[in-house]
Every structure is written in structure tokens, then in C-alpha cells.
Structure 1
Amino acid sequence: MSTFAIGDRDFLLDGRPHRVISGALHYFRVHPGDWADRIRKARLMGLNTIETYVAWNAHEPVEGQWSESDGLDLGRFLDLVAAEGMHAIVRPGPYICAEWHNGGLPTWLTATPGIRLRRTDAAYQAALETYLRRVYGIVAPRQIDRGGNVILVQIENEYGAYGSDKDYLAELVRVTRDAGITVPLTTVDQPEDDMLAAGSLPGLHLTGSFGSRAQERLATLRAHQPTGPLMCSEFWDGWFDWWGGQHHTTDAATAARELDDLLAAGASVNIYMFHGGTNFGTTNGANDKGRYLPITTSYDYDAPLDEAGDPTEKFHAFREVIAKYAPVPSETPAAGSPRPEFTVDLAAAPGAPATPSPVDGLLTFEDLGHAGTLLRYDTDLPDGFAGGVLEVGEVRDQAWVSVDGIRVGTLSRTRHEHALRLPAGGRLSLLVEEQGRVNYDDRLGEAKGLIGPVAVDGVERAQWRTTPVLLAEAAAAPELMVSAGTFDLESPSDLFLDTTGWGKGYVLVGDFLLGRYWSNGPQRTLYVPAPVTRAGRNTITVIELEQPLPVTARFVRAAELGPLHE
């Protein structure tokens, strides 16, 4: 058995000073078939530790239905980290931010009437205790003092930027210790006086989150914590992208200098991200600081390993810096190679007649307990309606408006649109897409769908029918256009699907939902992990919301994530 503790100036591994050189790798953003590869490459860059969040809503999307299967096997992930001879840091939240859907909180939880999130509240705390005990049932036996590799566990996440409820933090600590967590506990906040003061408790080790000006930030951290090791537990080496923006990158040499400054100061580090991965499916979050901006499917983050797991210029620059302060393996990972290029003919996918199950009322996703991304709203227009103006309180997040089955326009939350002129007709339909749940600040858990009132020519429409639209039944849904094709591979392979010229929608390879595409950019390719494919025949399905159905799918050699913003 080993020990890991906090000393006067250093972390202590078996009583000896130890520097943590860690990198963030979220198991839920990487196909489990690629976990071992990404972990090994982390060691080859010189890291001795892997850090991961735990996404509550991935494990328990429906209350009481907990899953650790397939890509959610946290125990297996930690065991693979241990097999590579590396330590692990676990950050279970329950709130994680991470540009992840709803900040990691399940929608069934945040939809609870009257619930108060991230503070002392009976309903919230009862649910999070159940959650944390499940996570700690996985983590506790894998702690370093029990023969495992987990050395640190974090309490909450950047809490000082949100609240200052010390009783709430104390309850998290109580549950954590009561569940058998004995390793040191940490908190993380941006190194600003008010955040550091609000976001922690005595007995919890303060760490910082920043990507530059290390000396200044570490000095602020030290002023709040006179003893113990200094640590930047989120060293931001890149940034995330949102639909309609540019692809964010940071200069590799500049980022390496910032890392050098941090390590030269004697601090420990967790690089956020070492490998960003992908918001597969519909797991992307969103930000709203006056303008709603949903996060892209790619979470490449301009990290040392790119979205496909290939080493970048930043990988080698960071490796050279780390080698000045710690042993680095002589082996380096092979450079990435071009992926296969080919085209696939697509044809409209036939579907059985739709069998919708509408519910009376203007209902939200939460009202229906609908975990999908699409709802259709229908109402009858007044007899003899000759045209007029549709007004909606708020659309969350985008609506395609049809009259008598013909599309007449869209309403976008991002563009702050609330009104649209309607032609004559008898039946009004709005297909609403939830584009990603806000993962930060006070919009956590907000309702999705049409937020009333909804009026036509100033008169509120009272009679509505709301119908969940399921991607799994897309070919049978009249709102969606579906095309499909097949392709053959000699062996499983990473692929990059070029969505240039397509509108907005979703893509599956086999039964694996890659994620969303959108002509709004910046992202132009979708990453297909090799374990999703197979030798022989493969299938691709495109679900399109806006444009005519694509007739060809084109796979290209490399990712195209859009014009750069440095």
C-alpha cells in the first residue's frame, strides 16, 4: 500500500515530495475502445496522472436507472490508468460545467419543482448523496491507500463563482468521507479573492484554474493558503468552440512557455485538456451570457492530443517542457496518418407511417420527461385564417414553423427571434430543437421547448398538442428527412465525415450517434472513432432538419474544424 498526503510545501507520496503532472481526459467523451490508447499517450508526454470529471446525467439520465456499462465504466477507466502506471484524480461534481449538457446535472433532477441547485436544499441534497455514494462505491476501493491509484478527489467545481453556501460544501465533505474517501480533498476556483474565499472550507486543499500569468495567480492562491503544495488543477491550454463562432486555438510555443512558468514555480498541474474528445450524441452544453451559444460536437479543445487522438505540435512542446522537471519516456507516439477517403451514395430511407402520441397542452421537454432533442407543437388556426403574425414568448432553442405542412420560417433563440409572419392556412406546427443545455451559472436546469405565451395576431392560442419526436424513429417522422447508405472497410478505421453543404441534423454510423452537424459552422467534419466501424459492411444514416436530403456522404483525410480564432 502507498500513501498520498499534503505536506507543508509539497504533496507527499509515501512520505516523499511529489509533483503531480496530470492531464484531463474525460472517459465519457472518448469511445471506450480508445481509452487505453489515449492514456498511454498521456504517459508518453510525461504525465504521471490522469484527471476526469464524472458526468451524473450520463450515468443516470432517468431517475433510478444507473448505468456503468460500455463507455460509462468508470472503474474500468481508472483500472486502465493504473495499468499504465499512472495515478488518477476524480472530480465527481455533482456539478462539472465542462461545456457538458446541463453541467452534468440530470434533467429529471433540475426539473424538480422548487428545487434549489448547488446549495442547501433537502431534495437536491438527497439526490446528490445517492449519486455520490454510487460514484464513491467505484472510487473508494481504488484509492492509493487501498492498493489503487486515486490520489485526489475534488469537492464541487469552481463553486466560488456560483455561491458561498458553506453548509452545502460541508455536507458534500460529510458524504464523501462517510462513503470511504480517505485521500486528500480539493476544491478549484479561479484565483480571485472573492471566489477563493467563497468556494472552499478549512480542511479542503485550494487549487486554481487559469492558463496564464502563473506567478501572479499562484501568489493569490498562496495568500489564501499559506502552506501546502501549489496546484493549477485546470491549466487551460486551449478553448472550446460554439456553433456560429470560429475554431479556437492557442499558439503551442506560448502555451508551453506558460506551462514552463508554472512548473518553474514548483507547482503541480492538471492540463485541461490533455485530450478533449467529442460531445458524442446530443451531450453538448451551451453558454448564455446574453446570447445563447450551443457548443459544437467536437471538443478538440486544441489539446496536445487532437480529437482523433493524434499528437499535435502542442504535445511535443509540452513534452519538452515537462522533461525539464520530471522523467519523460524515450518513446514518442507515432504521428497521425491520413484517414481513408471515399464517397458513399445515400438514398432516402423509407419509414413506416408515423404513429405519434400527442399530449394535449403547450408542454416543455420537462413536462413530458422527454430526454430527446425534438418536440412538435400543433394547433388549429382560426377558421378562414388569411395570414398574420405568430408571436412566441421564447423558443428554446430553435423552431421550424410550418403551415399546413409547408415550412414558412424559423425562430432562433440565438438570434433573439420571437415573431414570424404566417401565410393563410388551417394548421400551425412548430418543430422545436433543444440544441444543448446551458452548463454554467443560473440558467442551469431551465425548461426547454416553447415557453409561452404563444399568440397569433395578438390572441393567445390555448389548444395545443405536443408530440415527442424520437431520432430512433426518424424515418417514420414526417418532420425529419432521412437518408442512408452503406460502405465497406478492410479493417476498422477512424474516419472524418465531411458535412459541407448539408444543413442541420444528426449522423449515425451503425447504431452509434456521432452527434450534430450544422452549416452554421465552424465545424465541418464529424469524427468517427475506429471502434464504431467494422471490417466489411458499415452503414451511415443522416437525419436532416433543414436542407434537401444529401445524396452523397464524403469521407475525407483529416478533420476540418473551421476558420481559426487564435
Structure 2
Amino acid sequence: MSEFTIGETDFLLDGRAHQVISGAMHYFRVHPEQWADRIRKARLMGLNTIETYVAWNAHSPRRGEFSTEGGLDLARFLELVAAEGMHAIVRPGPYICAEWDNGGLPAWLLRDPEVRPRSSEPRYLEAVTEYLQQVYAIVAPLQIDRGGPVVLVQIENEYGAYGSDKDYLAHLVQVTRDAGITVPLTTIDQPTPEMLSDGSLPGLHLTASFGSRTAERFATLREHQPTGPLMCAEFWNGWFDSWGTHHHTNTVEQTAADLDAILSVGGSVNFYMFHGGTNFGLTSGANDKGMYQPIVTSYDYDAPLDEAGHPTAKYFAFRDVIAKYAPVPAEVPDAAADAPAFEVPLQRVAALFDVVAASGSPLGTTSAHGDLPTFDDLQHDSGLALFTTTLPDGAAGAGILGFEEVRDRAWVFLDGSPVGVLARDSHENAIALPRTGGQLSILVEDQGRVNYGQRIGEPKGLIGGARLDGAPVLDWSVTAIELDAVPGVAADASGAAPGTDAAGPVIARGEFTLDAETDGLFLDTAGWGKGLVWVNGFLLGRYWRRGPQRTLFVPGPVVHSGVNEIVVLELEVLAEARAAFLAGPELGHTEV
């Protein structure tokens, strides 16, 4: 058993001054069979601590559930940290931001119009209390004073950038302490006077988030907290990417110098990120500060350990800096080897609309609605939904179809022929139809719920109903598409005659053979339009020709020696009916 406390100027480990040198790694963004490898590489860089968020919506997709299976086994992750001789910092939110869908808040939570997120509103507090009690039942036995690795627990997350409800923060503290958390509690905010004041309470240790200007940032933090250790609990050594922008990088020399500035004054640090990992499936969030910007699938973050778990030049530069202030193991990780590079043909096996229309479709049950429902009206958290109605007027003249807002992308079809696309990121909400009669079908994609700011929790889909030349469009048939069923559909249809239609939405399938196990693969999506990919039933995530990301990372444990399956759901145009795998990642251009 050990004791971890806050002293007059330092963290104290069993009464001795201790500098926390930590790295962020989110267990839910890394395949669980690769956790141990990434944790070990953190220790070899000189880290003594691993930090992780806890994603509420991943553990509790429905109220009353709290899954800890597979990649959500927080206890196993923390035990692996301990097995490597390292400490852990846990940040359970309930709000985490993290470029994660809805900032980690479950979609079901915010469907109640009375719920006010991140406040002392009673319904919100009731749900948050249930969640935190479930998290702390895992964390409490793994605290350092009980023989475990956990040395710090964070209350909320950059709350000063959002609100100033002190009753809310006090409730979180009370729940945390009542659940048996005895280690020091922290907050984190950008080091501005207003944020530090609004986001904290007496008795909580303030930490800062920044990527540069260390002396200035620490001076501001010290003004608000005269004693105790200085800590940059999010040292922004990289950044995230959004679709349609560029791949963000920063220079090794500058970030190493900024790290040196933190450690040289005795400051503690947590790299955000040490190893970013991947937004597998549909977990990536979005930002909207006047323009909607969905986050890409890769969370490489230009981190010291890249998306595939390989050390970068930044890794070794940071290791050299750390060695000036703390012991660093002599061992270094192996350099990255090229991944297998090869191509395989794809067979177009089914049109999505045909599968949805079939009786007993595995892709979801169709329901009837008078008014146009949102995703949230359908209790449909994310993905795709198909909305269909019959326009009774067969007039040849064109008409204008409009919506209050499209969230986030809608493909419009009339009598099965594509009319066009409405895109939220272009502020589009109206389209000209070639005629005002026929079967109108609209495929809508949720591209990620906003993870930061006041638009968290907003409904998804087609907002405010539909109007054709100003008149309401009613009587809709709606299918909330079950994406988990797509690989099964592809397998069942694989014996059919090959399809020839390249236009989406279309399901394609292929097989590839590996001679041996691999650390991972890099799937090239440059020849495709926009869609989703599964390998052996595992949903890798979204791809989009818009970039910057070109390759999707396939974790080694997802594939095996022998025959493997790839399934593609292409929503636009599958220009090349093949799957290519590259020797390394291609995350896009770095300048604009």
C-alpha cells in the first residue's frame, strides 16, 4: 500500500516529492489485445503514469446498462497499468469532450427536454449519480492506498469553459467521496482567470490545459492556487483532424522545448495524447462553432506513439527530455515494420435500398409516421435512416423541397434516381426536385454528435419537418438502419451474381488471405467515395474521399492468418471495386 497526497509544492508519494509524468491513452480507442503493448511503450518513453477518460455513452448505450465487456473492461486496463509498474489517472467526466460522440454523454440522456446537461438539474444529477457510482465501483478498489495504480481522479472536464454551477460540481464531489474515492481530486481548465474560477471548488486541486507559453500559463494557475504542485494535465503535443481540413502536425523541436519548459520548473505533465488510437465504429464526434465539422476516424493526434502503436520522432525527442529529469529505461521499442501491402477485388453484392425494402429485412423494421421524425424520435442513436414518402402530384414542373435543418447529410432520390445531396457543413437545407410527384426517398447520415459547446445533445436527422413548395410533406415510412447487420447481409448475398452498379448506396464484399498474423493493416480508401468498412465483422469506421484521412487502421487482433472478410457500405460512388492495403498510414496533407 502507498499514499499519494498533495503537498505544499509537490505531489507526495509516501511523503516524498513526486513529479507525475503521464500520458493519455483511452482504452476505448485501442483494441484491448493491444493495451499492454501501448502501456509498456509508455513506460519505455519514461512515463510513470497513464491517464484515461471514461466514455459514459460507450458503457451505457441504454439507461440501466453498464457494459464492461471486451474493449470496455476498465478494470483490466487499470490492472495492466499496474502490472507495468505505473500509476493511473482516471477522468470519468461525466462529460469528456475528447472529440468523442456527444462528448461522452449518452444520447438517451438528452432526449428528455427537461434535462439540462452539466448542471444541477435533478434529472441530470440522478442519471449522473447512477453512472459515477458504477465507475467508482471499479475504480475505488484500484486506488493506490488499496494496492492499485490510481493516484488522481478528475471532477468534470474543463467545466469553466461551459458553466459555473457550483452546486453541480459539489454534487459530483459528494458522489465521488461517498463512493469511496480517497485519492486527491482535480479539475482541469484552460488557464484563464474566468475559467479557473468557474470550473473549480475549494478542496479540488486545479490543473491546466495548454500546449505552449508555459511560464505564462503556470503563472496564471499559481495566481488562483498559491500552493500545491503545478500540473499541465493536458499538454497538447498534437491535435485532431476534421473531414475536409488537413492533417494537423506540429514540430518535434517546438513540442520538445515546451515539454522541457514544464518539467524544468518541477511541473507535472500529462501528454494529450501519448497514444490517440482510433474512433472505431461511429464514435467520432464533431465541432460546431458556426460551421459543423465532423471528426475523422483516425485519432492519431500526431502523438508520440502513432495510431498503429509505433514510436515516432516525437517519442524519442520526448524521451530525451524526460531523461533530464527522471529515470528512463535503457530499452527502446522496435521500429515500425512495413505492413503487408496487397490488393483484392470486391464484389458488389446488394443495393442498400433493395435490402431495406425486402420483407423481414435484417437492416431494420419500417415504421409509419405522419410527421417526419428525427433520429431521436426513433430512439436511433447514430448511423443511417431511410425516409420514404409518395408525392401525390404528378406534375412535370419542378418543386423546392426544404427542411429547417439537415443533420448531417442527406441523399435525395426521386423514383430511385439520385437528385442531389444536402450537407450540413455547407448549410444546405433545400433542393430542387425535377417534378413534384413520385416516390421520394431520403437517406440521412448522422456524421457525429457535437462534442463541445452549447449544441451538445441536439437532435439528429431532418429537423422541423419537410415542405414542398411551402406545403408540409406528410405520411412517411422510416427505417432506422441496423448497421451491425450489414456484414451478415453481405455474406448471405455473396453467392449472387456480381452487381455492376457502382452508384451507392451499395454493399460490396471481398476476401483476402494472410500468411501470418500482423500488428495491423492500412486499408486504402482513395478509390471510394464515402461510407463504412467492416473487417471480419469489426466496424473500422467511416471513410470519405474529402480527406484528409486516406487509410483506415485495421488492428492486428481483428485479422488472422488464413481467409479474412472485408465488407464495404458505399454511400456515393464505388469508383474502384477493389480493396488495397498499403505498407503504412496515409493521414493526408498537412498544409492548406
Superposition TM-score tier, normalisation by shorter sequence: over 0.9
Say whether the 8 Å CA contact 1:5–1:13 is kept in structure 2.
yes
Q: Which moved more, 1:24-33 or 1:415-424?
A: 415-424
Alignment of 1:463-474 (within 5 A): 463-474=475-486
Tell me the alpha carbon deviations over residues 70-122 of structure 1, each in whole angstroms, 9 at most, x when there is no partner.
00000000000000000000000000000000000000001122210000111
Give the counterpart letter for 1:358 in structure 2. S
**Is this contact kept in 2: 1:160–1:189, CA < 8 A?**
yes
Kept after mapping to 1: 8 A contact 2:527/2:574: no
TM-score (ref. length: structure 1) = 0.98
Partner of 1:505: 531
The partner residue of 2:517 within 492, 500, 507 is 492
Partner of 1:381: 391
Q: Which residue of 1 aligns with 2:496?
A: none
Q: Which residue of 2 aligns with 1:399?
A: 410
The Cα shift of 1:389 comes to 1.1
Partner Cα separation in structure 2 for residue 71 and residue 267 of structure 1: 33
Q: Which consecutive unaligned segments of at least 5 residues does structure 2 have? A: 494-502
- How much does 1:471 deviate? 1.6
Q: 2:507 aligns with which of 482, 485, 501?
A: 482
Displacement of 1:377 after TM fit? 1.3
1:492 CA drift (Å): 2.2
**From 391, 416, 425, the counterpart of 1:414:** 425
SS in 1 for 2:93: coil
Contact persistence 2:373–2:465 (CA under 8 A): no
1:265 and 2:265 matched: yes
Describe the SS at the equivalent of 1:259.
Answer: helix
Q: Is the 8 Å Cα contact of residues 2 and 13 (structure 1) preserved in structure 2?
A: yes
**Would you say the 8 A contact 2:509–2:567 is kept in 1?**
yes
Inter-partner Cα distance in structure 1 for 2:466 and 2:121: 33
How do residues 17-28 of structure 1 correspond to structure 2 at under 5 angstroms?
17-28=17-28
2:367 corresponds in structure 1 to: 358
CA contact (8 A) 2:533 2:540 kept: yes
Superposition map of 1:87-236 within 5 A: 87-236=87-236
What TM-score results when the alignment is normalised by the length of structure 2? Answer: 0.94
Q: Residues 234-265 of structure 1: CA distance to partner in whole angstroms, max 9, x if unpaired?
A: 00000000000000001011100000011111
Q: CA deviation at 1:470?
A: 1.9
Residue 525 of structure 1 pairs with residue 551 of structure 2: yes
Residue pair 1:385, 1:426 contacting (<8 A) in 2 also: no
Name the residue aligned to 2:464. 452
Tell me the CA shift for residue 473 of structure 1.
3.5
Determine if contact 1:22/1:269 at 8 Å carries over to the other structure: yes
SS at match of 1:258: helix
- Equivalent of residue 574 in structure 2, options 525, 544, 548: 548
Give 1:333's aligned residue: 333
Amino acid at match of 1:459: A
Task: Indicate if the aligned counterparts of 1:484 and 1:539 stay in contact, CA closer than 8 A.
Answer: yes
- Output the CA distance in 1 between the equivalents of 2:39 and 2:485: 37
CA distance in 2, matches of 1:118, 1:172: 10
Comparing 57-66 and 244-253, the one that deviates more: 57-66
Alpha-carbon distance in structure 2 between the residues aligned to 1:429 and 1:45: 54
SS of match in other structure, 2:392? coil
2: distance between equivalents of 1:312 and 1:176?
38
Q: Deviations over 1:111-143 (max 9, x none)?
A: 122210000111100001010000000000000
Output the CA distance in 2 between the equivalents of 1:119 and 1:420: 39
Report the CA distance between 1:565 and its aligned residue.
3.7
Do the aligned partners of 1:401 and 1:428 also contact (CA within 8 Å) in 2? yes
Q: Aligned residue for 1:274?
A: 274
The 1:377/1:105 distance shift into structure 2, 3 A limit, reads same
Find the residue that maps to 1:309 and give its secondary structure.
Answer: coil
Asked if the contact 2:366/2:477 (under 8 Å) is kept, the reply is no
Any conservation in 2 of the 1:238–1:301 contact (CA below 8 Å)? yes
2:345–2:578 Cα contact (<8 Å) kept: yes
Corresponding letter in the other structure for 2:467: A
Other structure's SS at 1:447 match: coil
The answer as to whether partners of 2:400 and 2:432 remain within 8 angstroms in 1 is yes
Paired residue total: 566
The answer on whether the counterparts of 1:87 and 1:150 sit within 8 Å (CA) in structure 2 is yes
Structure 1 window deviating more from structure 2 (8-17 vs 355-364): it is: 355-364
* Contact 1:483/1:550 (<8 A) preserved: no
CA separation in 2, counterparts of 1:382 and 1:462?
11
SS of equivalent to 1:426:
strand
In structure 1, runs of 5+ residues without a counterpart are none
1:485-525 CA-to-partner distances (Å, cap 9, x unmatched) read 11111222210000002100000000100000000100000
Distance in 1, matches of 2:464 and 2:230, equals 50
Cα distance in 1 for residues equivalent to 2:202 and 2:413: 58
Between the aligned partners of 1:492 and 1:504, the Cα distance in structure 2 is 29
CA contact (8 A) 1:482 1:549 kept: no
Distance apart, 1:479 and its partner CA = 7.2
Q: Which residue of 1 aligns with 2:243?
A: 243
Question: In the alignment, which residue of structure 2 is the partner of 1:561?
Answer: 587
How far apart, in 1, do the equivalents of 2:574 and 2:532 lie?
A: 14
Q: Do residues 367 (structure 1) and 393 (structure 2) align? A: no
**Structure 2 Cα separation of the partners of residues 461 and 152 of structure 1:** 55
Distance 1:492 1:155 in 2: 41
Q: Cα RMSD (Å) of the superposition?
A: 1.4
Deviation at residue 346 of structure 1 after TM alignment: 0.8
Q: Partner of 1:514: helix, strand, or coil?
A: strand
Amino acid at match of 1:488: T
**Shift in Å, 1:472:** 2.8
Answer yes or no: is the 8 Å Cα contact 1:481–1:549 preserved in 2.
Answer: no
Query: Could you tell me how far 1:457 is from its partner in structure 2?
Result: 1.2
Specify the alignment match of 2:498 in structure 1: none
The range that moved more, 381-390 or 320-329, is: 381-390
- TM-superposed CA distance for 1:350, in Å, is 4.5
Q: Which 4+ runs in 1 deviate beyond 4 A?
A: 475-479
Q: After superposition, where does 1:4-43 map in structure 2 within 5 Å?
A: 4-43=4-43
- Please tell me whether the aligned partners of residues 249 and 565 of structure 1 are also in contact (alpha carbons under 8 angstroms): no
Q: Tell me how far 1:396 sits from its aligned partner.
A: 0.2
Q: CA deviation at 1:481?
A: 0.6
* Counterparts of 2:589 and 2:470, CA distance in 1: 43
Task: Determine if contact 1:359/1:467 at 8 Å carries over to the other structure.
Answer: no
Matched, 1:3 2:23: no
SS of residue in 2 equivalent to 1:538: strand
Question: What is the CA–CA distance in structure 1 between the aligned matches of 2:576 and 2:373, rounded to whole Å?
Answer: 32
Q: Which amino acid is the alignment partner of residue 458 of structure 2?
A: E
Q: Deviations over 1:338-371 (max 9, x none)?
A: 1000111111225863534223131111111113
